[in-house]
Amino acid sequence: MEKKKKRSIVRGIILSVLLVAIVYTVYTTATKDKVQILKEGSTAPDFELVGLNGETYRLSDFKGKGVFLNFWGTWCEPCEREMPAMDRQYKEFKDQGVELLAINLKQSDFEVQSFISNLGVNFPVAIDKTRSVQRAYNVGVALPATVLITPEGKVKKIITGEMKETAIASYMESIKPE
């Protein structure tokens, strides 16, 4: 008789825990914020990241300039191939009101600094350690990914995959302030 009572109590506790878990799951699913899908014409979400140089980068600080926002990883071969071309084009366009910010996705400062030094590129690089900018810009696992932002802060184009130098030049030209 005592065993049956203990078994009933244990079953009741297990059933209660399962019920609480189900209620919690239904509640959080029903009340969570909907993720905004970034698309062409959307206002680009503001962010704040610290660059390898120690400087803080905020999208809002680039108001009035075109922004070439490139998401990448050190393990990404297409990223590595397009970076020297991005660097050359950035040198051409930075005095014309186009900013380039390369955002690494959650790798160590040492890894990123070594990679950038070996490539010999000189554009600003920041690390998205929490992946909050990656989420805000809906960047998935397909890298490189580039978001072109107009001087007014609107998303002009979202590019996934490697770009050739002529395309990079054309994209930077397209976001150059008038």
pLDDT digits (tens, 9 = 90+) for 61-108: 999 999 999 999 999 999 999 999 999 999 999 999 999 999 999 899
Separation CA 43–CA 59 (nearest Å):
11
* 12 within 8 A of 86, measured Cβ to Cβ: no
pLDDT digits (tens, 9 = 90+) for 141-173: 889 999 999 999 999 999 999 999 999 999 999
pTM above 0.75, yes or no: yes
10 Å Cβ neighbour count for 1? 4
| Residues 8, 38: Cα–Cα separation, whole Å | 52
Q: Which residue type does 67 have? A: V
Say what the pLDDT of residue 34 is: 47
Closest CA to 150 of 88, 62, 70: 62
Per-residue pLDDT at 2: 81
Q: How confident is the model at residue 24 (pLDDT cuts 50, 70, 90)?
A: confident
